[in-house]
Amino acid sequence: MAGYTNYAYRELLRMFGGVDLITTEMVSARSFVELDRRGSELPSRLWGVRDEQRPLAVQIWDNNPDTLSLLAQRLALEFKVSVIDLNFGCPAKQIANRSASGSFLLQFPDRIGDIVQKVTAAAKPVPVTAKIRLGRTRDTINAIDVAQSIENAGAAGLTVHGRTAAEMYHGNANWDEIAAIKSKLKSIPLIGNGDIRTVDEALFRIKNYPVDGIMIGRGSIERPWIFRQIAQALRNEPVDSEPTTKEIRNIIVKHFNLLKQQFNEHTALFLIRKTVCHYAINRSGAKKFRNEICSAKEPALFFQLIENFFH
Protein backbone atom coordinates (compact mmCIF):
# COMPACT_ATOMS: atom_id res chain seq x y z
CA MET A 1 0.00 0.00 0.00
CA ALA A 2 1.56 3.19 -1.27
CA GLY A 3 2.49 5.52 1.58
CA TYR A 4 2.20 2.79 4.20
CA THR A 5 3.89 -0.56 3.62
CA ASN A 6 7.44 0.72 3.89
CA TYR A 7 10.25 -1.16 5.62
CA ALA A 8 9.19 -0.06 9.12
CA TYR A 9 5.62 -1.17 8.65
CA ARG A 10 6.69 -4.51 7.19
CA GLU A 11 8.92 -5.09 10.21
CA LEU A 12 6.03 -4.22 12.50
CA LEU A 13 3.90 -6.85 10.76
CA ARG A 14 6.66 -9.42 11.15
CA MET A 15 6.80 -8.63 14.84
CA PHE A 16 3.13 -9.56 15.22
CA GLY A 17 3.37 -12.53 12.84
CA GLY A 18 0.55 -14.40 11.15
CA VAL A 19 1.03 -12.86 7.72
CA ASP A 20 2.34 -15.26 5.08
CA LEU A 21 3.42 -12.81 2.40
CA ILE A 22 4.05 -9.10 2.77
CA THR A 23 4.17 -6.83 -0.26
CA THR A 24 6.01 -3.54 -0.65
CA GLU A 25 4.43 -0.32 -1.83
CA MET A 26 4.12 -0.22 -5.62
CA VAL A 27 7.46 0.72 -7.17
CA SER A 28 7.66 2.62 -10.46
CA ALA A 29 9.75 0.60 -12.91
CA ARG A 30 10.35 3.72 -14.99
CA SER A 31 11.75 5.67 -12.03
CA PHE A 32 13.95 2.75 -11.10
CA VAL A 33 15.41 2.43 -14.59
CA GLU A 34 15.92 6.19 -14.86
CA LEU A 35 17.59 6.53 -11.45
CA ASP A 36 19.74 3.51 -12.14
CA ARG A 37 20.85 4.89 -15.54
CA ARG A 38 21.92 8.13 -13.86
CA GLY A 39 23.72 6.21 -11.13
CA SER A 40 21.45 7.86 -8.53
CA GLU A 41 20.15 6.32 -5.36
CA LEU A 42 17.43 3.72 -5.96
CA PRO A 43 13.76 4.54 -5.25
CA SER A 44 13.14 4.93 -1.52
CA ARG A 45 10.37 2.36 -1.83
CA LEU A 46 13.06 -0.28 -2.26
CA TRP A 47 14.73 0.72 1.00
CA GLY A 48 15.36 -2.37 3.14
CA VAL A 49 14.31 -4.80 0.42
CA ARG A 50 17.79 -6.18 -0.21
CA ASP A 51 18.34 -7.41 3.32
CA GLU A 52 15.05 -7.84 5.08
CA GLN A 53 13.49 -11.14 6.01
CA ARG A 54 11.89 -13.31 3.35
CA PRO A 55 9.34 -14.09 2.05
CA LEU A 56 8.83 -10.66 0.55
CA ALA A 57 6.93 -9.60 -2.56
CA VAL A 58 7.81 -6.41 -4.40
CA GLN A 59 5.05 -4.82 -6.41
CA ILE A 60 6.02 -2.96 -9.58
CA TRP A 61 4.10 -0.86 -12.09
CA ASP A 62 4.45 0.58 -15.58
CA ASN A 63 2.95 -0.22 -18.99
CA ASN A 64 6.14 -1.05 -20.83
CA PRO A 65 7.09 -4.74 -20.71
CA ASP A 66 10.77 -3.99 -21.29
CA THR A 67 10.99 -1.44 -18.49
CA LEU A 68 9.15 -3.78 -16.14
CA SER A 69 11.38 -6.68 -17.19
CA LEU A 70 14.54 -4.70 -16.44
CA LEU A 71 13.41 -4.06 -12.89
CA ALA A 72 12.03 -7.57 -12.46
CA GLN A 73 15.33 -9.10 -13.48
CA ARG A 74 17.26 -6.95 -11.01
CA LEU A 75 14.81 -7.76 -8.24
CA ALA A 76 15.10 -11.45 -8.97
CA LEU A 77 18.83 -11.84 -9.49
CA GLU A 78 20.32 -9.09 -7.38
CA PHE A 79 17.77 -8.44 -4.64
CA LYS A 80 16.62 -12.06 -4.57
CA VAL A 81 13.04 -11.16 -3.62
CA SER A 82 10.53 -13.98 -3.18
CA VAL A 83 7.78 -12.76 -5.53
CA ILE A 84 7.35 -9.98 -8.06
CA ASP A 85 3.81 -8.64 -8.25
CA LEU A 86 2.53 -6.62 -11.21
CA ASN A 87 0.04 -3.87 -10.53
CA PHE A 88 -2.91 -3.77 -12.93
CA GLY A 89 -5.38 -2.38 -10.42
CA CYS A 90 -4.35 1.09 -9.32
CA PRO A 91 -7.11 3.59 -10.16
CA ALA A 92 -5.20 6.73 -9.07
CA LYS A 93 -5.23 9.42 -11.79
CA GLN A 94 -1.47 9.76 -11.75
CA ILE A 95 -1.04 6.06 -12.57
CA ALA A 96 -4.15 5.15 -14.59
CA ASN A 97 -4.66 8.38 -16.57
CA ARG A 98 -1.36 10.17 -16.76
CA SER A 99 0.84 7.08 -16.99
CA ALA A 100 -1.61 4.73 -18.78
CA SER A 101 -0.69 2.03 -16.26
CA GLY A 102 -2.33 0.19 -13.35
CA SER A 103 -6.09 -0.20 -13.91
CA PHE A 104 -5.85 1.56 -17.29
CA LEU A 105 -4.42 -1.66 -18.69
CA LEU A 106 -7.45 -3.74 -17.64
CA GLN A 107 -9.14 -2.82 -20.92
CA PHE A 108 -6.37 -4.65 -22.80
CA PRO A 109 -6.16 -8.26 -21.57
CA ASP A 110 -3.74 -9.12 -24.39
CA ARG A 111 -1.36 -6.34 -23.45
CA ILE A 112 -1.48 -7.52 -19.86
CA GLY A 113 -0.69 -11.05 -21.08
CA ASP A 114 2.27 -9.74 -23.05
CA ILE A 115 3.61 -7.91 -19.99
CA VAL A 116 3.18 -10.96 -17.75
CA GLN A 117 4.90 -13.22 -20.26
CA LYS A 118 7.93 -10.97 -20.68
CA VAL A 119 8.29 -10.19 -16.99
CA THR A 120 7.92 -13.87 -16.06
CA ALA A 121 10.73 -14.76 -18.46
CA ALA A 122 12.95 -11.95 -17.14
CA ALA A 123 12.33 -12.79 -13.48
CA LYS A 124 12.98 -16.53 -13.68
CA PRO A 125 13.21 -18.37 -11.29
CA VAL A 126 11.30 -15.87 -9.15
CA PRO A 127 7.50 -16.25 -9.47
CA VAL A 128 5.52 -13.36 -10.92
CA THR A 129 1.99 -12.62 -9.74
CA ALA A 130 -0.55 -9.96 -10.68
CA LYS A 131 -3.07 -7.79 -8.88
CA ILE A 132 -6.19 -6.63 -10.69
CA ARG A 133 -9.61 -5.08 -10.09
CA LEU A 134 -12.86 -6.43 -11.58
CA GLY A 135 -12.58 -4.13 -14.57
CA ARG A 136 -12.54 -0.44 -15.40
CA THR A 137 -16.25 0.22 -14.82
CA ARG A 138 -19.35 -1.77 -13.79
CA ASP A 139 -20.38 -1.94 -17.46
CA THR A 140 -17.06 -3.27 -18.62
CA ILE A 141 -16.24 -5.90 -16.01
CA ASN A 142 -13.79 -8.28 -17.65
CA ALA A 143 -11.89 -9.83 -14.75
CA ILE A 144 -12.30 -13.35 -16.14
CA ASP A 145 -10.70 -12.45 -19.48
CA VAL A 146 -7.89 -10.61 -17.73
CA ALA A 147 -7.39 -13.45 -15.22
CA GLN A 148 -7.14 -16.06 -17.98
CA SER A 149 -4.73 -13.93 -19.94
CA ILE A 150 -2.57 -13.58 -16.82
CA GLU A 151 -2.63 -17.32 -16.12
CA ASN A 152 -1.92 -18.29 -19.73
CA ALA A 153 1.04 -15.92 -19.79
CA GLY A 154 2.70 -17.83 -16.97
CA ALA A 155 1.84 -15.93 -13.78
CA ALA A 156 2.13 -17.84 -10.53
CA GLY A 157 -0.87 -16.28 -8.79
CA LEU A 158 -3.58 -13.65 -9.01
CA THR A 159 -5.04 -11.22 -6.49
CA VAL A 160 -8.39 -9.61 -7.21
CA HIS A 161 -9.75 -6.54 -5.46
CA GLY A 162 -13.52 -6.87 -5.82
CA ARG A 163 -14.21 -3.37 -7.11
CA THR A 164 -13.93 -1.70 -10.47
CA ALA A 165 -11.42 1.10 -11.00
CA ALA A 166 -14.26 3.60 -11.33
CA GLU A 167 -15.55 2.58 -7.91
CA MET A 168 -12.23 3.56 -6.33
CA TYR A 169 -12.97 2.64 -2.69
CA HIS A 170 -16.74 3.31 -2.69
CA GLY A 171 -19.47 0.76 -1.99
CA ASN A 172 -18.64 -2.80 -1.05
CA ALA A 173 -16.15 -5.15 -2.64
CA ASN A 174 -18.04 -7.72 -4.69
CA TRP A 175 -16.83 -11.12 -3.55
CA ASP A 176 -19.26 -12.97 -5.83
CA GLU A 177 -17.45 -11.49 -8.79
CA ILE A 178 -14.15 -12.59 -7.27
CA ALA A 179 -15.55 -16.10 -6.72
CA ALA A 180 -16.73 -16.33 -10.33
CA ILE A 181 -13.12 -16.17 -11.49
CA LYS A 182 -12.00 -19.30 -9.62
CA SER A 183 -13.62 -21.88 -11.90
CA LYS A 184 -12.18 -20.11 -14.94
CA LEU A 185 -8.61 -20.54 -13.76
CA LYS A 186 -6.72 -23.77 -14.42
CA SER A 187 -4.37 -23.97 -11.48
CA ILE A 188 -2.96 -20.70 -10.17
CA PRO A 189 -4.03 -19.57 -6.71
CA LEU A 190 -6.67 -16.87 -6.45
CA ILE A 191 -6.37 -14.37 -3.62
CA GLY A 192 -9.47 -12.37 -2.71
CA ASN A 193 -9.20 -8.79 -1.54
CA GLY A 194 -11.53 -6.11 -0.31
CA ASP A 195 -13.11 -4.86 2.92
CA ILE A 196 -11.76 -7.45 5.36
CA ARG A 197 -11.50 -5.56 8.62
CA THR A 198 -12.06 -8.18 11.32
CA VAL A 199 -11.14 -11.77 12.15
CA ASP A 200 -14.76 -12.85 11.61
CA GLU A 201 -14.85 -11.24 8.17
CA ALA A 202 -11.61 -12.99 7.24
CA LEU A 203 -12.95 -16.38 8.36
CA PHE A 204 -16.23 -15.75 6.57
CA ARG A 205 -14.50 -15.02 3.26
CA ILE A 206 -12.12 -17.96 3.57
CA LYS A 207 -14.91 -20.40 4.45
CA ASN A 208 -17.57 -19.23 2.02
CA TYR A 209 -15.69 -18.20 -1.10
CA PRO A 210 -13.55 -20.37 -3.36
CA VAL A 211 -10.38 -18.39 -2.81
CA ASP A 212 -6.97 -19.80 -2.00
CA GLY A 213 -6.05 -16.90 0.22
CA ILE A 214 -7.02 -13.43 1.31
CA MET A 215 -5.22 -10.12 1.13
CA ILE A 216 -5.83 -7.37 3.66
CA GLY A 217 -5.02 -3.74 3.03
CA ARG A 218 -6.65 -0.98 5.05
CA GLY A 219 -7.67 -3.31 7.87
CA SER A 220 -4.02 -3.99 8.57
CA ILE A 221 -3.18 -0.31 8.81
CA GLU A 222 -5.84 0.07 11.49
CA ARG A 223 -4.84 -3.16 13.23
CA PRO A 224 -1.47 -4.58 12.19
CA TRP A 225 -2.02 -7.38 14.72
CA ILE A 226 -5.02 -8.68 12.71
CA PHE A 227 -2.96 -11.27 10.79
CA ARG A 228 -1.78 -12.85 14.02
CA GLN A 229 -5.37 -13.06 15.28
CA ILE A 230 -6.59 -14.57 12.00
CA ALA A 231 -3.77 -17.13 12.01
CA GLN A 232 -4.72 -18.10 15.58
CA ALA A 233 -8.38 -18.47 14.61
CA LEU A 234 -7.47 -20.61 11.60
CA ARG A 235 -5.45 -22.91 13.88
CA ASN A 236 -8.44 -23.07 16.26
CA GLU A 237 -6.36 -21.46 18.99
CA PRO A 238 -7.64 -18.78 21.36
CA VAL A 239 -7.47 -15.42 19.62
CA ASP A 240 -5.46 -12.64 21.29
CA SER A 241 -7.62 -9.85 22.62
CA GLU A 242 -7.15 -6.35 21.22
CA PRO A 243 -4.02 -4.62 22.54
CA THR A 244 -4.41 -2.51 25.66
CA THR A 245 -3.79 1.23 25.39
CA LYS A 246 -0.37 0.68 26.99
CA GLU A 247 0.45 -1.91 24.34
CA ILE A 248 -0.72 0.48 21.63
CA ARG A 249 1.63 3.14 23.00
CA ASN A 250 4.49 0.63 22.82
CA ILE A 251 3.55 -0.30 19.24
CA ILE A 252 3.65 3.38 18.26
CA VAL A 253 7.09 3.88 19.82
CA LYS A 254 8.41 0.75 18.13
CA HIS A 255 6.97 1.83 14.78
CA PHE A 256 8.41 5.35 15.12
CA ASN A 257 11.87 3.98 15.89
CA LEU A 258 11.68 1.65 12.90
CA LEU A 259 10.67 4.57 10.66
CA LYS A 260 13.67 6.55 11.92
CA GLN A 261 15.98 3.86 10.54
CA GLN A 262 14.98 4.97 7.04
CA PHE A 263 13.62 8.50 7.34
CA ASN A 264 14.65 11.70 9.08
CA GLU A 265 12.70 12.60 12.21
CA HIS A 266 10.38 15.01 10.39
CA THR A 267 9.29 12.42 7.80
CA ALA A 268 9.09 9.66 10.39
CA LEU A 269 6.77 11.85 12.44
CA PHE A 270 4.61 12.62 9.40
CA LEU A 271 4.28 8.91 8.61
CA ILE A 272 3.58 7.74 12.16
CA ARG A 273 0.92 10.46 12.57
CA LYS A 274 -1.02 8.96 9.65
CA THR A 275 -0.97 5.51 11.22
CA VAL A 276 -1.85 6.70 14.69
CA CYS A 277 -4.97 8.40 13.33
CA HIS A 278 -6.14 4.96 12.24
CA TYR A 279 -5.60 3.57 15.76
CA ALA A 280 -7.86 6.28 17.12
CA ILE A 281 -10.88 5.19 15.05
CA ASN A 282 -13.93 4.36 17.21
CA ARG A 283 -12.34 5.76 20.38
CA SER A 284 -13.99 8.63 22.19
CA GLY A 285 -12.42 11.99 21.42
CA ALA A 286 -10.90 10.65 18.18
CA LYS A 287 -11.74 13.72 16.13
CA LYS A 288 -10.11 16.15 18.54
CA PHE A 289 -7.14 13.84 18.93
CA ARG A 290 -6.69 13.59 15.15
CA ASN A 291 -6.72 17.37 14.78
CA GLU A 292 -4.15 17.77 17.53
CA ILE A 293 -1.90 14.97 16.39
CA CYS A 294 -1.88 16.21 12.80
CA SER A 295 -0.42 19.50 13.91
CA ALA A 296 2.21 18.00 16.23
CA LYS A 297 5.53 18.99 14.67
CA GLU A 298 7.82 17.79 17.46
CA PRO A 299 8.21 14.23 18.78
CA ALA A 300 7.90 15.47 22.39
CA LEU A 301 4.46 16.97 21.75
CA PHE A 302 3.45 13.98 19.63
CA PHE A 303 4.28 11.51 22.40
CA GLN A 304 2.59 13.69 25.02
CA LEU A 305 -0.61 13.58 22.95
CA ILE A 306 -0.26 9.81 22.56
CA GLU A 307 0.23 9.45 26.32
CA ASN A 308 -2.89 11.51 27.01
CA PHE A 309 -5.10 9.77 24.47
CA PHE A 310 -4.05 6.12 24.85
CA HIS A 311 -4.04 5.97 28.64
Ligand X SMILES: Cc1cc2nc3c(=O)[nH]c(=O)nc-3n(C[C@H](O)[C@H](O)[C@H](O)COP(=O)(O)O)c2cc1C
- In angstroms, give the least distance from the CB of 28 to ligand X: 10
Applying CB under 6 A, does 43 fall inside the site for ligand X? no
User: Of 145, 92, 154, 94, which is closest to residue 118 (Cα–Cα)?
Assistant: 154
Applying CB under 6 A, does 3 fall inside the site for ligand X? yes
Name which of residues 12 to 41 contact ligand X (CB under 6 A).
25-26
Which of 22, 90, 179, 188 is flagged as catalytic?
A: 90
CA 23 to mean position of chain CA atoms: 5
- 248 vs 105: CA distance, rounded Å: 41
The residue among 188 and 310 lying less far from ligand X, judged by its C-beta, is 188
Q: Using CB atoms, what's the residue nearest to ligand X?
A: 217
- For the chain, the C-alpha Rg in angstroms (whole number) is 20
Stretch that binds ligand X, among 85-93, 120-128, 201-209, 298-306 (CB under 6 A): 85-93
The residue among 143 and 216 lying less far from ligand X, judged by its C-beta, is 216
Residue 301 DSSP SS3 = helix
Applying CB under 6 A, does 194 fall inside the site for ligand X? yes
Name which of residues 120 to 139 contact ligand X (CB under 6 A).
131
Q: Could you give the residue ranges of the DSSP H alpha helices within the chain?
A: 7-16, 29-38, 65-77, 93-96, 109-123, 143-152, 175-182, 199-208, 218-222, 226-234, 245-262, 265-279, 286-294, 299-309
- 63 vs 104: CA distance, rounded Å: 9
Catalytic annotation, residues: 90
Binding region for ligand X (CB under 6 A): 1-3, 25-26, 59, 87, 89-90, 131, 161, 193-196, 216-219
